[in-house]
Amino acid sequence: MSDLTTTTAAGAGPGGTGASGDARTSGAAGSAGVPGDADIDARLEGHRTELTGYCYRMLGSAFEAEDAVQDTLVRAWRNFDKFEGRSSLRSWLYRIATNVCLDMLKAGNKRARPVDLSGPTPLAQAALTPRPENVWLEPMPDGRILPTVQDPAEAAVARESVRLAFVAALQHLPPKQRAVLILREVLAWKAAEVAELLETSVASVNSALQRARATLTEQEGRVPDAADPLDEEQQKLLERYVKAFEGYDMAALTALLHEDAVMTMPPFDLWLQGTSDITGFMTTIGAACAGSRLVPVSANGSPGFAHYKPDPEGGGFVPWAVQVIDVRDGAIAGMHCFLDVERWFPLFGLPERLPAGATGGE
């Protein structure tokens, strides 16, 4: 099971400073009197990144998380005069964000990865069948969900808690159990603090946490290696991966892949397992990606790449996928390729195309 169920983020909790400095300053009146709109905006905005991380873990969707946070901040701004400072501003915002997420989850939609929905498809039966976007767990840039923290242990917990596998496991929890586990295990809130936020008893919180832990033990697969910061061996592995992928050297790529590596391609429900099926797919159905370029990105606490393939209608390279890479035991264990580039490339702040002669891996 993930270390998240035994290791919590140091210095966190609802009264922690998070990413915005002194979060306990009363919103009713500062030292210079009642805060103005600009001061309120700045104080609320200072919590955006960590709130987005929380809502993303709850919802599994990049865009729904950002919508939830925007709704949270608008509600907080409109009701700021009612904030009496009896709790920290941070805990008040988390209360609002939790209620927004719970409302959004009432429809019962559960985000998933292709590997959560079916078994692997043999190469001989490979077919690209898309499913609606609301089926899929979505990638998220690290910069939008991971606030800067000084404690390496706290940073490690935060990164592990946004890995695709962990967020996918969270989707198997009922919404309130999900909130309890994130608040207790990831954000290190005390049981009494979570009980107050959810307006329930400490006994109920502890029971929900116990059930959530048991479910995660059943759902979580093998955990990828820690990826921040990349150690020298991991960095060299990724450099070799870029060289092999851009050169479409299947022998070199095979040497880098774990024997049971997986390749997923949302919005298609197809997923492949094993080096022969992955490389076989790349040289047949995926042959148009030969000569591609990979540009590094950071997503879901993991290494990743923006994948540009050659433009079939002219020079240069056009967006094809955002890849999130799992590394395990010194090998590439997962290539998760998110193909809805009209959504993902703007979210990651990536250029619409690369010029001819561009080099990747930089």
pLDDT digits (tens, 9 = 90+) for 228-267: 677 899 999 999 999 999 999 999 999 999 999 999 999 9
List the single range of 29-43, 75-89, 140-154, 231-245 with lowest mean pLDDT: 29-43
Instruction: Provide DSSP, 309-362.
Output: EE-TTSSSEEEEEEEEEEEETTEEEEEEEE--HHHHHHHTT--S-B-TT-----
Mean pLDDT computed over 37-54: 92
Mean pLDDT computed over 182-210: 96
Indicate the pTM of the whole model.
0.88
- pLDDT given for residue 15 in this prediction: 58
Q: Is the dihedral of CA 255, 138, 361, 224 positive or negative?
A: negative
Asked whether residue 87 carries a pLDDT value surpassing 90, the answer given is no
Asked whether residue 214 carries a pLDDT value surpassing 90, the answer given is yes
Residue among 190, 227, 221, 188 at smallest CA distance from 205: 190
- pLDDT given for residue 26 in this prediction: 38
Alpha-carbon separation of residue 347 from 20, 143, 281, 358 (angstroms) = 23, 11, 28, 22
Q: What average pLDDT is seen over the chain?
A: 88
Asked whether residue 221 carries a pLDDT value surpassing 70, the answer given is no
Q: Which fold has domain 232-347?
A: Nuclear Transport Factor 2; Chain: A, (3.10.450)
Mean pLDDT computed over 304-316: 93
- pLDDT given for residue 25 in this prediction: 39
- pLDDT given for residue 205 in this prediction: 98
- pLDDT given for residue 222 in this prediction: 58
Q: Which residues contact 104 (CB under 8 A, 6 or more apart)?
A: 59, 64, 68
Mean pLDDT computed over 177-188: 96
> Distance (Å, rounded) from C-alpha 139 to C-alpha 348?
10
Mean pLDDT computed over 193-214: 96
Neighbours of 272 (CB within 10 A): 24
Mean pLDDT computed over 266-292: 96
Provide the pLDDT confidence category of residue 107 given band limits of 50, 70 and 90. Answer: confident
- Residue with the bigger pLDDT between 166 and 21: it is 166
Provide the pLDDT confidence category of residue 63 given band limits of 50, 70 and 90. Answer: very high
> Distance (Å, rounded) from C-alpha 348 to C-alpha 342?
11
> Distance (Å, rounded) from C-alpha 32 to C-alpha 251?
67
Mean pLDDT computed over 106-130: 92
Going from N- to C-terminal start, the domains of the chain cover 3-219, 232-347
- pLDDT given for residue 339 in this prediction: 97
- pLDDT given for residue 362 in this prediction: 52
